Amino acid sequence: MQVSSINNISYNNHIKRNNAQPTFTGIKVTPIAREYFNAIDWLTNKYYAKFYKSKLAGKFLEKTSKFADNMTTHMMVLGSTVISGMYIMRTLQNDKLDKEKRKTLAINDTLTWGVSTAGTYIVDGKLRNLFDNKMATRYAANYLAKHPEDMNKELLGEWDPANIRQVMQEAPQRALAKYAEMKKTLGENTPELKEWMKRVRFKEDRHFKELEEIDGSKLKIKDFNMDILKSPKLSNQIKGISILKSLFIGTMIYRYLVPVLIMKPANKLGAYIHAKNAEKAKTEQADAKKLEKTA
Amino acid sequence: MKIQAINYETKSGFPSGPSGFKVGMQENSIVAQGYNANLDGSRASKSTSKAAVSFTGGVAKLEQFGEKLFDKIARSEAAEKALNFFNDKPVVGQSLISLIVAGAIRPATNIAMAGKDDKEDSLYAASHAISSAVIGFLASSVLMAPFDIAAKRLAKRPQRYIKGAEENLGIKKMGARQLEKSSRNGIISTILKMGPDTFVFGIAKAMLTIALIPPILKYVFHVEKKPKTKPETVTPKTNIDFCDKPVFQQFKGGLK
């Protein structure tokens, strides 16, 4: 046994350990980035979480649950109302303009806001079915054609995305039948059944029980994905379609169609009618003076 | 008439339907021959025109699936990214649409529709629109970013942040899936995501917009507001020299 060499090795290691420089491979966080991450933490815990858990939120949500479908539109309208209100107040308090001009501008701004708001709600309501159901269903079918791993074929069997409407109708029954079949084959509450349930994204038995209450003929694409396909990516995109539709309609109406294509010609028409009336009044006045002189 | 079943069979030999209802289409099926069909597959009446849609047991297949322009756009990466973007960042998305509509299309239309008399007004309106769109986009992108990240974080792991809010949201157990299904969550998350811009930043942006109009008028449209020239004031003459007037020069006054 070569003891000396062993001792040398341990001594050398000891020396190396004491003189070794630690190498740090962590992420370097600048002070600004640290503050930014702190701000995000604060927003998550103090802003969002606090509102979610507050009593006020509970009461508010109880009364406004029917507005869930077009909440984006409501928030857009609210934002435009706040800004328009601010502009109208500024116009009315503007000392550089005379009273009549202030009134006219304020009325103009109010009419613009009113027509835009009404237009946004009407158009959004008319197009809701087209975008949120028909277009979203076709989009989902295309998404699934591109991402077949999200079709949940292990639960529903082989199916063609072009038949998505048919599959949506029959999906609750097929899923339940498949579940019954797997319980028979693999046994109830067995690890194999749990494993299969995990693969088809139904973690608990009660998720299958919820399907019993679903009427397939009334199933919309959003619910079909959430209850049966369970693809989070597709879910985000279906929501994205609805949000994009609301934002596009609202912005086009508030910031282009009404101010440019409606109010401008309306103002010109108003000015033309005003000028015509003034001319008519002038002519009538001149005629009346002539009559007085001859009399 | 023989109707084939849709191939729902799995490896385990799962039958095609619990109720035994088989649906499908064959080449020489009713629809391919141009006949209208009842729901049970029996002939109803003869039609001379070819069937426009593929019939699969009561619900039509998507027409020309994969061939329409919509399908090509829907299958693109850009469409996926865009929809994810609008879902995750609605305020920035709104500002982006405003940037295009109010920052480009609206000023161009204003100027194109302007007559000789209201050219200045149109330039002012165009500057206002551009200013508003640019400020809105820049401010929203910077200010709303932390709100959007925080919202996404909460949606991914709600049990960590909002356990105890089940009653408010009308759900039995807190989880990402339950949160997604909750319609009340849709309301409150939209309000909290868009609220800061609606009630706080929106007013500040509007004021900044007005401040930015003169520089845009100057540097984009090369229009400067000329200082108003003071009108000439007529000062009444106080010293009138009567002796210079010819009328008075002819007057020969005095007591005789």
Convert the pLDDT of each residue in B236-253 to its tens digit: 555 555 555 555 555 555
Residue range A158-173, pLDDT digits in tens: 999 999 999 999 999 9
B59 within 8 A of A156, measured Cβ to Cβ: no
**How far B243 CA lies from chain A's nearest CA (Å)?**
44
**What pLDDT, on a 0 to 100 scale, did the predictor assign at position B81?**
95
The two beta strands, B43-46 and B35-37, are: antiparallel
**How far A280 CA lies from chain B's nearest CA (Å)?**
23
- pLDDT greater than 60 at residue B231: no
Per DSSP, the residues of A67-92 read G-TTHHHHHHHHHHHHHHHHHHHHHH
A115 within 8 A of A262, measured Cβ to Cβ: yes
- pLDDT greater than 70 at residue A284: yes
Most B-contacting residue of A213, A244, A249, A268 (CB-CB within 10 A), to test interface? A244
- pLDDT greater than 90 at residue B71: yes
Q: What is the mean pLDDT of chain B?
A: 72
**How far A78 CA lies from chain B's nearest CA (Å)?**
7
A43 and chain B in contact, CB less than 8 A: yes
Q: Which of residues 114-173 of A touch B (CB under 8 A)?
A: 135, 138-139, 141-143, 145-146, 153-154, 156-159, 161-166, 169-170, 173
Residue range B171-193, pLDDT digits in tens: 888 888 888 888 888 899 999 98
A156 within 8 A of A201, measured Cβ to Cβ: no
What is the mean pLDDT of the segment spanning A268-282? 82
**What pLDDT, on a 0 to 100 scale, did the predictor assign at position A168?**
94
Number of other residues whose CB lies within 10 A of the CB of residue B87: 20
The percent of residues above 70 in pLDDT, for chain A, comes to 89
| Tokens describing residue B215 | 């520089």
- Flag if A169 and B59 touch (Cβ within 8 Å): yes
Number of other residues whose CB lies within 10 A of the CB of residue B149: 18
Q: Which of residues 35-74 of B touch A (CB under 8 A)?
A: 56-62, 65-66, 70-71, 74
Which of B47 and A25 is assigned the larger pLDDT?
Answer: A25
**How far B44 CA lies from chain A's nearest CA (Å)?**
22
Residue B254, judged by CB atoms within 10 A of its CB (0-12, 13-18, 19+), counts as exposed
Per-residue pLDDT band for A181 (boundaries 50, 70, 90) equals very high
The percent of residues above 90 in pLDDT, for chain B, comes to 16
Q: Which of residues 75-104 of B touch A (CB under 8 A)?
A: 75, 79-80, 82-88, 90, 93-94, 97-98, 101-102
B18 and chain A in contact, CB less than 8 A: yes
Per-residue pLDDT band for B55 (boundaries 50, 70, 90) equals very low
Helix (H) / strand (E) element for B46: namely: strand B43-46
**What are the CA-CA distances from residue A51 to residues A68, B168, B193 (Å)?**
17, 10, 12
Which of B120 and A142 is assigned the larger pLDDT?
Answer: A142
**What pLDDT, on a 0 to 100 scale, did the predictor assign at position A156?**
94
Residue range B107-165, pLDDT digits in tens: 888 888 777 777 777 787 788 888 888 888 888 888 898 999 999 898 888 888 888 88
- Flag if B101 and A255 touch (Cβ within 8 Å): yes
What is the mean pLDDT of the segment spanning B199-227? 75
**What pLDDT, on a 0 to 100 scale, did the predictor assign at position B247?**
59
**What pLDDT, on a 0 to 100 scale, did the predictor assign at position A173?**
93
Least confident of A19-23, B32-36, B39-43, B204-208: B32-36
**What pLDDT, on a 0 to 100 scale, did the predictor assign at position A27?**
59
Residue range A185-204, pLDDT digits in tens: 999 889 999 999 999 999 88
Closest-approach residue (CA) in chain A for B197: A79
The percent of residues above 70 in pLDDT, for chain B, comes to 64
Give the closest of A139, A162, A236 to B87, CB-based: A236
Euclidean distance between CA atoms B20 and B12, whole angstroms: 17
- pLDDT greater than 80 at residue A180: yes
A86 and chain B in contact, CB less than 8 A: yes
Which of B111 and B220 is assigned the larger pLDDT?
Answer: B111
Which of A240 and A15 is assigned the larger pLDDT?
Answer: A240
**How far A274 CA lies from chain B's nearest CA (Å)?**
17
Euclidean distance between CA atoms B218 and A41, whole angstroms: 43
Phi, psi (degrees; rounded to nearest 5) at B35? -105, 145
ipTM of the complex: 0.78
**What pLDDT, on a 0 to 100 scale, did the predictor assign at position B46?**
45
What is the mean pLDDT of the segment spanning A222-239? 93
- Flag if B167 and A58 touch (Cβ within 8 Å): yes
Q: DSSP letter for B44, please.
A: E
What is the mean pLDDT of the segment spanning A109-138? 93
- pLDDT greater than 90 at residue A224: yes
Q: What is the mean pLDDT of chain A?
A: 85
Give the closest of A76, A239, A255 to B102, CB-based: A255
Q: Where are the alpha helices (DSSP H) in chain B?
A: 69-74, 77-88, 90-100, 106-113, 119-143, 145-156, 158-161, 166-169, 176-181, 183-195, 202-219, 246-250
Euclidean distance between CA atoms B202 and B136, whole angstroms: 8
Least confident of A218-222, A271-275, B22-26: B22-26
**What pLDDT, on a 0 to 100 scale, did the predictor assign at position A21?**
56
- pLDDT greater than 50 at residue B16: no
What is the mean pLDDT of the segment spanning B200-212? 81
**How far A121 CA lies from chain B's nearest CA (Å)?**
17
Residue A113's SS3 state is: helix
**What pLDDT, on a 0 to 100 scale, did the predictor assign at position A230?**
92
